[in-house]
Structure 1
Amino acid sequence: MIKVGFVTCVQLGYSCMEAIYEVGGKLDLAISLLDNQAKSKSGRIYLDSFCNSKGIPLLKASHVNNPEVIQSIKDAQLDWLFIIGWSQIASQEVLEAPKRGVLGMHPTLLPTGRGRAAIPWAILKGLSKTGVTLFKLDSGVDTGPVVDQIEIALDNQVDANILYQEVDAAHISLIKKVIPSLMADDLVLKEQDESLATEWPGRKPEDGLIDLTGSVFDAHRMVRALTRPYPGAFYFVDGIKVVVWKAVISKSRLSDRTINFYDGQLQILEYELINVK
């Protein structure tokens, strides 16, 4: 029988754990952070009740690379270990601890978009589609062989908040799709085509500055890409930082705040003023 473990400390990972049981799978080990860690982390959850109800051994550790974590994986004789919703990078020892390997998710259609800030970049680049990839982790960054993918269609109205929710839903759908094959020991892994690989760099809050001399379409794209849960696109007026959370391209006056570009008007519908003087 295939034995599976799961590492997470956030709601998305917990939802994926639930999805495993919804399609008839089971877990033989769960690993999470110590209770006093990452209390302010967005979506931080605790696995105690779920693990107790399902009879899943639960280990809490300060870091996924701790010796006790590696030993617990080996003691449980895991075939596969999922790491989803976890910011710590797994060491080579962790990657080699399960018999068949470690599986992770990346919110692009690998090999496109290896790296950081996948949701903002998908919108900023004006892609027609993105998605979520389940793949086997290796020593590279998002370079391991692919198990499966789910596509997400994009249009010129989608924003980061909507795409974030669609990416979360795709994680759960992909888990449900793959678990039956995983439990039957029938997974087929496909190496990524390096000739198609692209890497997206990390982004900083200051990268959200709107170019007031540029195109209204670029500005609108930036607003959509950086809205909540991200830091927001912004510009300055008389020492005031205007963070734009929602805007539309329109010739009609829809709000009390409008930016005129050479090729159109951006009507700002939701914004926040920050005094930086």
Structure 2
Amino acid sequence: MSKPAIVVFAYNEVGYRCLETLFDMEANVVAVVTYTDDPDEEIWFRSVAELARSRGIEPLLDLDLKDQQNVKTIKKLKPKLIFSFYYRDVIPEKILKIAKLGAYNMHGSLLPRYRGRACVNWAILNGEKETGATLHRMTSKVDRGEVIDQEVVRIEETDGAKEVFLKVCDAAAEIVARTLPELESGRVVGAAQDETMATEFGGRRPEDGIIRWSNDSRRIYNLIRAVTHPYPGAYTDYRGKKLFIWWGKPQEGTSLGKPGEVLSLDPLTVATGRGNLRVLRAQLDGEIEMDGPDFARKNLNVGTLLGQD
């Protein structure tokens, strides 16, 4: 008996890992829809397009999914299953309905919590101790369809966004591996999401990385690790330039100075609204990244006031 045809919409490392899992399980992937990389974006993840080509499939790039001709192209493929693995655009319902065995999305949180975009970054910023991956049925309402499977991942105290994201990638690939047989057979059973537990967050912009020194040191630390490399970074103002703080360590307790005041150079320590922040990696915009004390000796003085609230 032939396996059902699958069309995959995918991007980013989650897209790569999940598509790779489908290929390794010899799923009948008939098309891969993905994007051309943006030259202005830091591309740290592997290419879905290159993976597809390595398996003999020429990817469909940058499709306008509202274009009727593109809808017809997908219909001609006669997919029984559709997957979306970190595809950045909402897939129209008229495409979802093509798949007789269903259309499914991999989301980077434990739905119904953290619906929306940048869910890993938001979870870290909010100080969560765990997140995960969720495979759910796609409907006209984004991130609201029945949950098929979930996998929890731990957020450690010293994890940055990339470390957590890679754990989510592992979880997503594991979910694909264990659910594919049921999805292909049509025997999969989903569970409705509990709307009373739902939370939703929007996308994040580089300017959302500004440090508010009046916040407590833990909140500032969570922001730093939520947007550190390969993301745009947390920053403060210094002499009219952006001063990026790529890593630090919170020191909780009573603050020893005004919020944003440099208290010492080695270790580089800055006062916050509650407690202090030890700065371990820093960089002025357009210059090289440095260890905190080296940066401080070159650029700062005790008593220097950073940023603005």
TM-score range, shorter chain: 0.7 to 0.9
**Residues 1:49 and 2:53 are matched in the alignment:** yes
1:257 counterpart residue number: 268
Could you say what secondary structure the match of 1:28 adopts?
A: strand
User: Unmatched 5+ residue regions in structure 1?
Assistant: none
* Fraction of identical pairs, as percent: 27
1:7 counterpart residue number: 9
> CA offsets, 1:67-107, max 9 Å, x none?
34322333332211112232222112111121133211111
1:230 counterpart residue number: 231
Q: Distance in 1 between matches of 2:141 and 2:221?
A: 34
2:261 counterpart residue number: none
User: Aligned AA for 1:74?
Assistant: K
User: Aligned AA for 2:6?
Assistant: V
Q: Distance in 1 between matches of 2:211 and 2:271?
A: 12
Change (3 A) 1:30 1:212: closer
Which of residues 13, 23, 26 in structure 1 aligns to 2:25? 23
Q: Distance in 2 between matches of 1:90 and 1:24?
A: 25
Moved more, 119-128 or 233-242: 233-242
The Cα of 1:213 is off from its aligned counterpart by: 2.4
Q: Distance in 1 between matches of 2:159 and 2:29?
A: 36
Q: Distance in 2 between matches of 1:18 and 1:87?
A: 19
User: Aligned AA for 1:46?
Assistant: A
User: Unmatched 5+ residue regions in structure 2?
Assistant: 253-263, 287-309
TM-score normalised by length of structure 2: 0.77
**Residues 1:149 and 2:150 are matched in the alignment:** yes
Could you say what secondary structure the match of 1:110 adopts?
A: coil
Whether the 8 Å CA contact 2:110–2:133 is kept in 1: the answer is yes
Q: Distance in 1 between matches of 2:191 and 2:266?
A: 50
Q: Distance in 2 between matches of 1:58 and 1:237?
A: 45
Whether the 8 Å CA contact 1:233–1:244 is kept in 2: the answer is yes
Q: Distance in 1 between matches of 2:58 and 2:223?
A: 44
The Cα of 1:24 is off from its aligned counterpart by: 4.3
User: Aligned AA for 2:23?
Assistant: Y
The Cα of 1:45 is off from its aligned counterpart by: 4.2
2:277 counterpart residue number: 266
RMSD: 2.7
Could you say what secondary structure the match of 2:28 adopts?
A: coil
The Cα of 1:155 is off from its aligned counterpart by: 3.1
Where do 1:104-253 residues align within 5 Å? 104-249=105-250
The Cα of 1:6 is off from its aligned counterpart by: 1.1
Q: Report which structure shows greater RCO (CA 8 Å, sep ≥6).
A: 1
Q: Distance in 2 between matches of 1:61 and 1:248?
A: 41
Change (3 A) 1:32 1:202: closer
Larger radius of gyration: 2
Change (3 A) 1:123 1:255: farther
Change (3 A) 1:59 1:231: closer
